Each structure stands twice: as C-alpha cells, then as structure tokens.
Amino acid sequence: QVQLVESGGGLVQPGGSLRLSCVASGSTFSRYTVGWFRQSLREERSFVATIRGSGGGGRPYYADSVKGRFTISRDNAKNTVYLQMNSLQPEDTAVYYCVAGSGVILSNIRNRAAYDYWGQGTQVTVSS
C-alpha cells in the first residue's frame, strides 16, 4: 500500500510559478511510475506529467498542453515527486492529483486507470 500526500498548491497570478510536491510512503518508491493528473470544474481528470521508475530509466512524459512550461522530477531518497509549473495560465486552474503505479506500460502511461494510488489533491488557482 502506498500513501501519497501532496503540497504546494495555492493562488498565483498568470505568468507565475508554483512547485508541487508529493511524498510517498513505502520502501519501493523508486520502482513506481509517479506523476500528476488534474481536474478542473469544466473538464474530466486529465494527464499532466509522469516520470518512470528505475525500470523505465526515469524518463519524463508530458501532456502537450504543459510541455515546455512544466517539469516533473523525483528524488527517490526522499520518496518525493515534484512538479515545477512555470508560465501558469488561468486554464491551468485545477485540483492536481499525485499518482503512483507499478507495472505501468508505456502505451498506457497517460491513462488514469493505469495508476493504483492517488493522493487527495491540491488546489492550484491561477487568477489576477
């Protein structure tokens, strides 16, 4: 069982930055694919970014809408995954969920059903 706890959300002006963090319990964190999904009032929960575990070489993947603005990283020694969000826009407003999955195959990496564990979410609001 893995528990995920997110932090770092808040209110930011358009063009600003935030860094989300997610701390995971458990001793096998390095093996998990971990990442972020988000859900706004108008849209279904959607893929944001993910980073493979040690078996996948730690490679990151991004949704087209955030590529070039967001950066996902992980610190396996701290059981933590980060999402650095720059150039934030109002359309980035959403609840951001941390996710973790074992055995996530590459073709399924953007599918929310591929992830076994979800955090409670952290609100990000981009507004002037």
pLDDT at 57: 83
Burial 21-51 (b: 16+ CB within 10 A, else e): bbbbeeeebebbbbbbbbeeeeeebebbbbb
pLDDT per residue as tens, the chain (128 positions): 899 999 999 999 999 999 999 999 977 899 999 999 999 998 899 999 999 998 778 899 999 999 999 999 999 999 999 999 999 999 999 999 999 999 899 999 999 999 999 999 999 999 99
Phi-psi category of residue 2: left, alpha or beta, with phi > 0 → left and psi -120 to 50 → alpha: beta
The tokens describing 90, both together, are 């109002």
